[in-house]
Structure 1
Amino acid sequence: MSTANPTRRRLLLRAAAWPIGSALAAAGLSACAQQTPVRLAVLGGLTGPVSDLGLAMRDGVLLAVELARAAGRAVELLEFDDAQNPNKLPEVALRMASAQVAAVVGPVTSNIAQAWIPLAQQHGLLTVSPAATSDDFSGLDDQFFRVSASTSEYATQSAAFAVQRRGWRRLALIRDDSNAVFTRSWADFFATQARSLGATVAEPVPYRGPLTPLQAQTVLQQALEQQPEVLVLVANANDAALLAQLARQLQPATALFAAEWASSRQLIVRGGRAVEGMLVAQFVDRNNRSESYLLFLQRFEQRFRRSPEFAEVVAYDAAQVLLHGLAQQAPDETLKATLLRVRTFPGLQDAITFDDYGDSQRPMVMSEIRNGRFITLGA
């Protein structure tokens, strides 16, 4: 992905390793740096199998921080790469604590969030996730907030759309258990809802991604043995694209449906003609016409020379929650207490309102891929 300032990007990527003393000394050299900047951290898979989401999240946060600095806020962004590997997180948490970050945006996937939440609690790292939606995180009094709704909300709504709106009665699921804390619960909620509406749902076919073409063919053949009307893919964009390509070869009449994890442009880029007509659940309305969202699109495209995806939007929202919260934080008040006191924060498309446990709601949007674009479907 290109940016308007590659040198600055490289500096930001090294920022997590800067000694705190040298960072403060550098800040002191500037006549305009009259106060120690507030440090925000972004935590995501900046390398590894789903780096498209991690980098997209980082860019959404980076834009929010740059706009805050342009408005006179003393804010610094530090980047931490989890490489989609939970084993890296204890060391990451220690580095964040040493850097005295005020709060964290991330992670973007539920399997990383599952390992991160206890560490955030241990080190007092207030965390706002853009897209870790597993129900395992709901109703917990901890340091973890999120700006998207839970898996149960999205999966049950997806099942209702598939059965009631499209009339499908035979469904098969494929799920990626490398992110099992998300995919298993999504598949379970989807299947339960679809069956309650009279559909037949085969037992999900699991795998651990990333997929090779040979593995994908094996997984697909197992799912297609059920002769489903629709194949539901609970997978990331790259794997969903590969599965779609092979499905079009093996059984082209079968409809395709993807959970929101796959809803980045990588699905279209890698899937090509094979993903045309695929339904994709989303929690961002790409056709939204609100003033705040249109202004965000303009600013993002000017800064990064590309259009944002869902991860950039929800990450920007998460960063804005923290920036608004820090601006309203009272003396001797924790940031967590501030977020729970303020409760409602502006979002690009919808207001973000937290409950007592830092959970929130974000409407699901159903889309269909047509002519290489995600087209929002009406209610």
Structure 2
Amino acid sequence: MKKSFVLITILLLIFFTTFYIFFYKKEEVIKIGFVGALTAKYSVLGNAMMNGIVLAFEEENYRINGKKIELIFKDDKKDIELNKKIVNDFIDQGIKIVIGNVTSSMTKISMSIINQHPDMFLISAASASNEFSGIDDQFFRVHVANNEQRFSGFATYINDLGFKKIYGIYDPQNITYTKDYLENFEKTFYKKSQEKFIQYATTEDLEFLVEDIKEKNPDLLLICANSVDGARVVQYLRINGISTQIASSEWAMTSTFIENSGKYSEGIIFNIDYDVDSKNERFLKFVENFQNKYNIFPSMYAAKGYELAKIIIELLKIGKETELKKNILIKKEFQGLQNKIVFDEFGDVVRDFNTFKVVNGKFEKIK
């Protein structure tokens, strides 16, 4: 009797264990964190990236190799302490992949924490500061750094147009990227022309800008600011009689810029690694799907968010979430929406650049 009881108990344990494994086993989940500006003036970038990321994972039905993908989006609000809290919360949740940030200044904060964890990986669709280049760490990006490779063609174009006296204007709220952009463009331009910038100024004091530009009489104004601030500066300068040719970083090249600056956007030059008129089949399919879902044309940041997500998806299909850095360095080359994305050993990429000008209220490619 005692033996029978023990046998029955063992059989019941086996039955309930098997039943639990098959019916109540917790589904394996891979959590991916996003930290970036989703509100305020930088949100035009953050929300575009989020839309591209969501579209890419929807196409996989949020499942990779039988594992559920959970995306966690957090707004850093351009607040350093909040950004630190978000990243540390990701760490507490066991998240190994973090997408972020929208600005280089905030990415620098996330990097300072994530680089202390060798099993984590930070990848950005926007942060371009050259300060992050050439470093073996846990940070990669699909956006080209502010280096000579990206500026060479644009500097040649500006020099060939006869512009020598350049006046640089930057957003001080994202100085890790904006002033870095101007300084590295200046280095490349100097090699072409033997000319240095005649002035650096911020977007904060517009009255000073008007008076200083009139006094120094530059050939070209080069602005590095987001689309909202860039449009505000352009509009104010034009209304106050500044007719100097203006060029801008790719950061402002969105429909928001033209909407906010109106007729004053006409003739402004942009240099960007994104072609709104690309005929690449991958890009055209992405545009179709994006417009069907969101009813708007995707900006560069939506496209790069999508590309970044597709790279993560491809890597998760071949390896663990803690192996993204290793597997990127093994593969190195990925197919982007318009051209190939090639990573170097430090997680920086090489991409093709195009020059655009606003003509009749639209971005027109300069051939």
Same fold (TM over 0.5): yes
Letter of the structure 1 residue corresponding to residue 317 of structure 2: A
Q: Deviations over 1:307-343 (max 9, x none)?
A: 1101001111111111111111169x72221222222
Match of 1:206 among 201, 215, 223: 201
Candidates 204, 214, 235, aligned match of 1:224 = 214
Distance 1:318 1:126 in 2: 13
CA contact (8 A) 1:68 1:75 kept: no
Q: How far is the alpha carbon of 1:196 from its aligned partner?
A: 3.2
* Conserved 8 A contact 1:172-1:201: no
Give the 3-state SS of the residue equivalent to 2:274 in structure 1: coil
**In the alignment, structure 1 residue 140 sits paired with structure 2 residue 135:** yes
The TM-score normalised by the length of structure 2 is: 0.86
Q: Which residue of 2 aligns with 1:63?
A: 55
Structure (1 or 2) with the larger CA radius of gyration: 2
Kindly indicate whether the alpha-carbon contact (under 8 Å) linking 1:174 and 1:223 is maintained by their aligned counterparts in 2.
no
Structure 1 residues 337, 194: CA separation in 2 closer, same or farther (over 3 Å shift)? Answer: closer
The answer to whether the aligner puts 1:52 opposite 2:44 as a matched pair is yes
> Is this contact kept in 1: 2:258–2:361, CA < 8 A?
yes
1:271-296 deviation line (CA, Å, top 9, x unaligned):
11001110012121111110100000
| Cα separation, 1, equivalents of 2:343 and 2:187 | 27
* Contact map agreement 2:167 2:218 (CA 8 A) in 1: yes
1:75 corresponding residue in structure 2: 69
Q: Which of 147, 154, 157 is the matching residue for 1:158?
A: 154
Query: Cα offset for 1:252?
Result: 4.5
- What count of residue pairs does the alignment treat as equivalent? 342
TM-score, length of structure 1 as denominator length? 0.84
User: Which ranges of structure 1 fall in alignment gaps of 5 or more residues?
Assistant: 1-27
Q: Aligned to 2:221, what secondary structure does the other structure show?
A: strand
CA distance in 2, matches of 1:129, 1:351: 17
Work out the CA distance in 2 between the residues paired with 1:125 and 1:47. 26
Corresponding residue number in structure 2 for 1:291:
281
* 1:358–1:192 Cα change, 3 Å: closer
Q: Using a 3 Å threshold, how does the CA distance of structure 1 residues 224 and 58 change in structure 2: closer, same or farther?
A: farther
1:355 aligns with 2:344: yes
Q: Which amino acid aligns with 2:34?
A: V
Between 268-277 and 41-50, report the one with greater CA deviation: 41-50
Deviation at 1:117, TM superposition (A): 0.9
1:22 is aligned to: none
Asked whether the equivalents of residues 165 and 198 of structure 2 are also in contact (C-alpha less than 8 Å), the reply is: no
| C-alpha distance 84-156 of structure 1, shift in aligned 2 (>3 A) | farther
Q: Which moved more, 1:33-42 or 1:266-275?
A: 33-42
Deviations 1:64-98 (A, max 9, x none): 11111177763221101111222322211121122
Contact 1:156 1:189 in 2 (8 A): no
CA offset digits 1:229-284 (Å, max 9, x no partner): 22111111111111111222233431110011211221111011001110012121
Using the TM superposition, give the Cα deviation of residue 49 of structure 1 relative to its aligned residue in structure 2, in angstroms: 2.5
Q: Is the 8 A contact 2:271 2:354 kept in 1?
A: yes
What one-letter code is carried by the residue in structure 1 that aligns with 2:35? Answer: L
Question: 1:42 aligned to 22, 34, 41, which one?
Answer: 34
Residue 206 (structure 1) shift: 2.7
Cα displacement (A) at 1:157: 3.6
- Determine the C-alpha separation between the residues in 2 that align with 1:181 and 1:223: 24
Give the match's secondary structure for 1:122. coil
Q: Shift of the alpha carbon at 1:218?
A: 2.0
* Ranges in structure 2 where 5+ consecutive residues have no aligned partner: 1-19
- How far, CA to CA, are the matches of 2:196 and 2:167 in structure 1? 6
Q: C-alpha distance in 2, partners of 1:187/1:286?
A: 24
Structure 1 Cα separation of the partners of residues 157 and 208 of structure 2: 28
1:273 has 2:263 as partner? yes
2:63 and 2:180 mapped to 1: Cα distance?
42
Match of 2:85 in 1: 91
Distance 1:319-1:70 versus aligned 2 partners, 3 A rule: closer
* Pairwise CA RMSD: 2.3
Q: Equivalent residue for 1:192?
A: 187
C-alpha contact (below 8 Å) 1:146/1:358 kept by paired residues: yes
2:257 and 2:263 map into 1 onto residues whose CA distance is: 11
| Distance in 2 separating the partners of 1:337 and 1:131 | 22
Q: Which residue of 2 aligns with 1:13?
A: none
